[in-house]
Every structure is written in structure tokens, then in C-alpha cells.
A = this chain, B = another copy of it.
Amino acid sequence: MLKVKKYGGTSVADKDRIFYCAQKCAEEYRNGHDVIVVLSAMGKMTDELIAQAQTIHSDPSKREMDMLMTVGEQISTALFSMALETMMVPAISLNAFQAGMHATGVYGNARLTEIDTERIEHELSERKVVIVTGFQAVSKYNDYVTLGRGGSDTTAVALAAVFHADECEINTDVDGVYTADPRIVPAARKLEEITYDEMLDLATLGAGVLHNRSVEMAKKYGIKLIVRSSFNTVSGTVVREKSKMEKTLISGVAVDQNADRITVSGMKNEPGSEFRLFRLLADHSVNVDLIIQSVTGEYTKDVSFTIKDEDLEQVLALLRENRETVSYQDIRYNTELAKLSIVGAGMMSNPGVAAKLFECLYNEGINIGMITTSEIRITVMVKESEVVRAANAVHERFHLGEDQ
């Protein structure tokens, strides 16, 4: 079997953690498996590098930031390889140039385009554990580019796809995927299995275990994902297409407290006004999450959308600078909202789920600020101060804490 094993920053944060994870890889190797390891930078390394850059330049070019950041994974892969050497397991670390990881040239937020498999194939054929730097790739100009949030997961899934790995294990600091964030909902229960789509909605909506890009890629290539803890031997959650859980009504409640709502009101009620607004944001690499549009009068319409907290200032500045192009009357924003979503593949064949959710919130006296839905998800925005209470109530109402 070929196994891809990804370890995040907390999993390789220090010498002891590195040895613990290397030991697990050594066991797989000794059991005859081929092993590709994908690593993030150690613990706080990325934060330290950012802080170091900040002492030099308050807003350094993204090109040089990527050049700086990529050292983080190179350090962890070299040290991990040395740890395997102490266990007499042949190993080799490869950075993005060596592993042939190619991507689009968007610094700080690149997308993988192609993987040259030759080098890794060669090292696997020599029966080495191959340790690849996550999060980084090389652009067509031969520059380092980083893959943005969840980048190391993406690296792992992409390698699992091109090498037809039997499984891709995402080792993190939680035991698996839960019906809700246990820090918010104490009654949350670990799921044994979950479908890609459910995972995708949970990831997108802030469950925080896996980034949506890696789940999308896993779905596209049918990669069996295993989300588990690198701190213990608990079995984790399997993410795959044909889940035993598929018929479950609701598989989880997700909360995202890192969302701000912006309303652009009094836009001209004519074709192209949404295009001009969201093209502007896309050109500045702002990720827009939910979008709701309503026509408020014969000649005007309002558009509301949510963005991450950290993008708020940039978005407001962009909108003010481009008032004429976008053509609107007013901007309003609310930073004291949070998103709550319920996700479940069974939802699409079961009417009344939405009504049950709204009733539950009504019983708690919680007002709903915005609603959007997909086939397997219902999202509401509520006051940030009420979202924890809301999540616990919904979790209980849908019996998510009970074995199903």
C-alpha cells in the first residue's frame, strides 16, 4: 500500500513530537508500505518568520514573504528525515523544487497545477520514506509560491491523487471530525465516517479541521481521507464517498465566529452591477463567503455578503475608492455576527429540517440575521454573543450527541 501521511505544525512542534510522528511512519514503512510524508512548518515557526519580516517592512511584497515562509517546511522535513535516520529507516526530504510541485503564480495563495512525479517515484522505488514540504510550490517563473490556508493538506491530497495512494491521513491536533466544535458544544460526538460533501460544507463553514480545497480535491480524485490525531492512537474519521452515514439527517453543526457582514445598498438595478462589485473583490484576492441580493426598489438593489474579519478594512477601503465604478449609495457593516450551519447529506430528501432549525432558535429567543441554504446545508447568521447557546441548542434538538 502507498500511504500519504500529513502532519500539521503542532504535530512537529518540537523534538519529541517529531520523534513520535516519525515512529508512526517508521512502523508503516516496516510493515512494507510505501510512505510519503507531508509536513507543515514547526509550531510557531510561521508566526516567527512573519514577525521577523514585520521588523523590516510593515507590508513586504508577497513574493518575498513566500520566499521567507518556505524555509519553515524545509526545516521540519530535514529534521524529520534525521529522526527517521536514527531509526535506521532510509528517508529523504524534498522541497517544492525537488518534489516537482508546480502551481499558478499567485504569491501567498497559489493553486497546484501539476506534479512532476519522477523524483518521488525514484525515491520510493529505492524504498525510502519521502518527506515533502507542504504548503509550497514553484511558479512557472521558478519562484516559490505558498498555497494559502490549509496548503499542506492540499499538498498531501494532491500527492495522494497523482501517486494513486491507498489513503491520505491528515494528522492534526483533534481526534477527528465532530458533530460540532467540542470547545463550543460540550456534547459533540466524533463521527466514524462522513461524506466528502458533508465534510466540504463543514470545512467551508468553519469546522476548522480540514480546508475545503483539500476536501474538494479528495472528492474529485476519490481519495480516502482519514482525519486523526497525531497525539494518540484513536482511529479518527474517514472521509469518503460511500459513507455508512449517508442517510443520517444531520451530521454536524458548524460555527464560524470569524465572519463580518457587509451590505452595499442602493446599487443600480441593472445587469452587471454584481459583476463589477465582486470582480473588484476577486481582483484583490478577497474571499467572499455568503452572498444575498435583494431588490429594494424599482431602480436600486442591495447586496449583502460575508467576509473574514481580517479582510474588513481592505474591503471597506476598496469599496470607498471605487464608489463610482461599483455605483452604490451606502455601505453598512456588522462585525458582531456569527454563522451557524447544520450540514447533512440526508437533508435533501427530508423536508422540515429548516423549520425544525428555525423553531429551535425561536424557542431560544435568538433572532436570525440572514439565511442561505444549499442542498445539504442550512446557514443562519445570529449575534456573535448568542452563537454558542444557539449551537448547543441545535446540537441537542437534532440529537447529534447520540449514537445513530
| A interface residues with partner B (beta carbon < 8 Å) | 15, 18-19, 49, 52-53, 55-57, 60-61, 63-65, 67-68, 70-71, 74-75, 77-79, 81-83, 85-86, 92-93, 95, 97-98, 119, 142-143
Residue of B with least CB distance to A77: B67
A73 CB to nearest B CB, Å? 10
A353 CB to nearest B CB, Å? 51
- Interface residue SS majority, chain A: helix
Residue from A15, A70, A95 with most neighbouring chain B CB atoms (10 Å): A95
Q: How far, in whole Å, are A180 and B52 apart by their CA atoms in the complex?
A: 39
A68 touches B74 (CB 8 A): yes
Residue from A63, A82, A143 with most neighbouring chain B CB atoms (10 Å): A82
A61 touches B77 (CB 8 A): no
Contacts A98-B142, A142-B97, A142-B98 given; does A70 touch B79 at CB 8 Å: no
Q: How far, in whole Å, are A160 and B95 apart by their CA atoms in the complex?
A: 28
A55 touches B15 (CB 8 A): yes
A307 CB to nearest B CB, Å? 27
With a cutoff of 8 Å between Cβ atoms, the chain B residues found around residue A60 in the complex are 82, 85
Q: How far, in whole Å, are A52 and B78 apart by their CA atoms in the complex?
A: 11
With a cutoff of 8 Å between Cβ atoms, the chain B residues found around residue A86 in the complex are 56-57
A82 touches B97 (CB 8 A): no
Q: Which 6 A-B pairs have the closest CB atoms?
A: A71-B71, A68-B78, A57-B82, A67-B78, A60-B82, A97-B97
Tell me the number of copies of this protein: 2
B143 touches A98 (CB 8 A): yes
Other A-B pairs, 11, CB within 8 Å; known A57-B83, A67-B74? A56-B82, A60-B85, A61-B81, A64-B82, A64-B85, A64-B93, A67-B78, A68-B75, A68-B78, A68-B79, A119-B142
From B18, B65, B75, B97, contact of A71 by CB (8 A):
B75
Q: How far, in whole Å, are A93 and B69 apart by their CA atoms in the complex?
A: 13
With a cutoff of 8 Å between Cβ atoms, the chain B residues found around residue A67 in the complex are 74, 77-78, 81, 93, 95
A18 CB to nearest B CB, Å? 7
A142 CB to nearest B CB, Å? 5
A85 touches B70 (CB 8 A): no
Q: How far, in whole Å, are A71 and B67 apart by their CA atoms in the complex?
A: 10
B74 touches A70 (CB 8 A): yes
Residue of B with least CB distance to A71: B71
A55 CB to nearest B CB, Å? 5
Residue of B with least CB distance to A61: B85
From B63, B68, B77, contact of A92 by CB (8 A):
B63
Residue of B with least CB distance to A99: B142
With a cutoff of 8 Å between Cβ atoms, the chain B residues found around residue A98 in the complex are 142-143
Contacts A55-B15, A93-B67, A97-B97 given; does A61 touch B82 at CB 8 Å: yes
With a cutoff of 8 Å between Cβ atoms, the chain B residues found around residue A52 in the complex are 75, 79
Residue of B with least CB distance to A56: B82
A13 CB to nearest B CB, Å? 13
With a cutoff of 8 Å between Cβ atoms, the chain B residues found around residue A65 in the complex are 78
A140 CB to nearest B CB, Å? 13
A91 CB to nearest B CB, Å? 8
A123 CB to nearest B CB, Å? 10
Q: How far, in whole Å, are A83 and B93 apart by their CA atoms in the complex?
A: 31
A58 CB to nearest B CB, Å? 9
A64 CB to nearest B CB, Å? 5
Q: List 8 A-B contacts (CB under 8 A).
A: A19-B56, A57-B83, A60-B82, A60-B85, A61-B82, A64-B92, A68-B75, A97-B97
From B18, B68, B95, B143, contact of A56 by CB (8 A):
B18
A308 CB to nearest B CB, Å? 25
